[in-house]
Amino acid sequence: MSPEAEVPPVSDATSEPKHHDCAELRERFAARGLRCTRQRVQIYKALAASAAHPTAEELFWLVRESDQDLSLATVYNTLDALCAHGLCRRLATSAGPARFDADLSTHLHVQDQNGRIHDVPPDLSQRLLDAIGPELLDEIGRATGQTISGARIELMAARDAAGPAPPAEADPAA
């Protein structure tokens, strides 16, 4: 799992709002050098509408409801293109397939024991990222002889058998 939040934080004003019109998406895709196709728009909209950080297969079934011609290969290829052009993030998990996030704002994720990924509230994400600070990254860079450009922080949920279950995330796409 890799929460994809970088230090120092980089703001991306294009990550919100969650609902996009076609003209806005055409502009966003063009600005990133990506051709805007009907299936890319469908897949991107489904991803952006989901708070569940879906897998490629989950996105396939969500979009397939309205497009019977969609193939799983198209979903994988589209997600690869969206990631390569900076329109979404691939979130590796330690349990199961990669998940995806269209929210490019600076935030962290927590992976639960089932491989599901949950957003950390923005204020808490920022507090943790600020605690690392550029001075520490510079020191790590000097100690390792590397130029550190950012950091990824893995937050893994551990739940003991007697503890409460993590809260379920509402998914508007479900």
- Averaged pLDDT in 10-residue chunks for the chain of 174 residues: 35 41 88 93 95 96 94 97 96 88 91 89 90 91 92 80 50 46
Under 8 Å between Cβ of 44 and 102: yes
Q: What does the block give as tokens for 25?
A: 């998406």
Q: How many domains does the chain have?
A: 1
Does residue 37 lie in a domain region? yes
Does residue 62 lie in a domain region? yes
Give the global pTM. 0.74
Does residue 142 lie in a domain region? no
Does residue 141 lie in a domain region? no
Where in the sequence is the domain holding 81, given as residue range(s)?
A: 14-105
CATH of the domain at 98: 1.10.10.10
